[in-house]
Homo-oligomer: A and B are copies of this chain.
Amino acid sequence: MIIILKKGAPAESVRRLEDNLKAQGVSINHIEGVNQNIIGLVGDTSAIDIENILAQDCVENIRRVQEPYKKANRKFHPDDTVIPVKNTIIGNGSLQVIAGPCSVESEEQVITTAIAVKEAGATMLRGGAFKPRTSPYSFQGLGAEGIRLLIKARNETGLPIVTEIMDCADIDLFADVDVIQVGARNMQNFRLLKLLGRSDKPILLKRGLANTMEETLMSAEYIMAEGNMNVILCERGIRTFETMTRNTLDLSAVPLFKQKSHLPVCVDPSHATGIVSLIEPMSLAAVVAGADALEIEVHNDPKSALSDGGQQLTPVKFADIMKKIKDITAYLGRTIGK
């Protein structure tokens, strides 16, 4: 950590700052500049509060040198994390394809869709039981009943199930879920992250619409700091000025997350683009960029879907895309599923 002192900062207040820093266990280096002096801190600076230092009269600015995440940091954990999910694993070079409807709507809908996506080659089933909707007047999900139906669909197909938690109070309902998803709007629901950190279930952590990659890694760190190392990062589009797509899929996050962290990375082209015709090219591009998993919305009858109809694939279209995903995965020397 580098502290840039104000021009002409009084020696006394600099000395007080340094004493304070030394008391926190770091050692101090000085660089005397022409216009400004600088203090370099050596040691474990993770406990040092940047805001607190910025509040000192003698300080002009601060530059961090090290990443603030540790458990999620590849520097300290060079090997890829591999996450077991039921009879399969995420993150060993294989590709997992998580497919299913935006919302669970009925037994028939979820089971029909589950059978169809399995047949097409999907390896996990997604479906929303609790739905975060911008409008209070939109369909809000079936709740506990939705999870019950997902489990039924798993029994029918053998596909592990992935579904989103929206509130700490619901945690018990997720006891028999295989992967718990944290939605983009909850990426900084720190209470929820801590709770999930005390679980041993795989957590699919979606990047927030306005969150940097570093903040996403810090949210993973929240989960990992509580003991749960099974975190999958998920890029699902960020909010930009562009209006033609729902969000802007930041595909460079895939290789960058994998360089900075040892955690597996998933891409959700459905939410990222919001446009059915973009799901195929963005899925293939994500695989080539190194994604460990894809999450794709498929509905047995998108025209009658209760949410996000416009971005859900039909089973026929999904099967067509899966064929191309399988081909390119094979070309890359990778496999679908374990």
Q: Which residues of A contact B (CB under 8 A)?
A: 2, 4, 7, 29, 31-36, 38, 40, 42-44, 46-47, 49-57, 61, 63, 65-66, 68, 75, 130, 132-140, 166-169, 185-186, 188-192, 194, 208-210, 212-215, 218, 221-222, 225-226, 238-245, 248-252, 254-256, 259, 272-273, 275, 277-278, 281-282, 284-286, 288-290, 302-312, 328, 331
Contact = CB atoms under 8 A, between A and B. Distances in A.
Copies of this chain, whole number: 4
Contact of A281 (B61, B254, B312): B254
B55 A282 contact: no
A16 to B, nearest CB: 9
B42 A244 contact: no
18 contacts: A34-B44, A35-B66, A36-B65, A40-B40, A49-B138, A51-B311, A52-B304, A54-B309, A55-B302, A61-B65, A134-B215, A166-B189, A168-B169, A213-B242, A249-B252, A252-B273, A255-B277, A285-B288
Contacts of A239: 210, 241
Nearest to A42: B33
Given A65-B33, A213-B242, A166 B191 contact: yes
A134 B188 contact: yes
B252 A248 contact: yes
Contacts of A43: 34
Given A191-B166, A240-B241, A38 B40 contact: yes
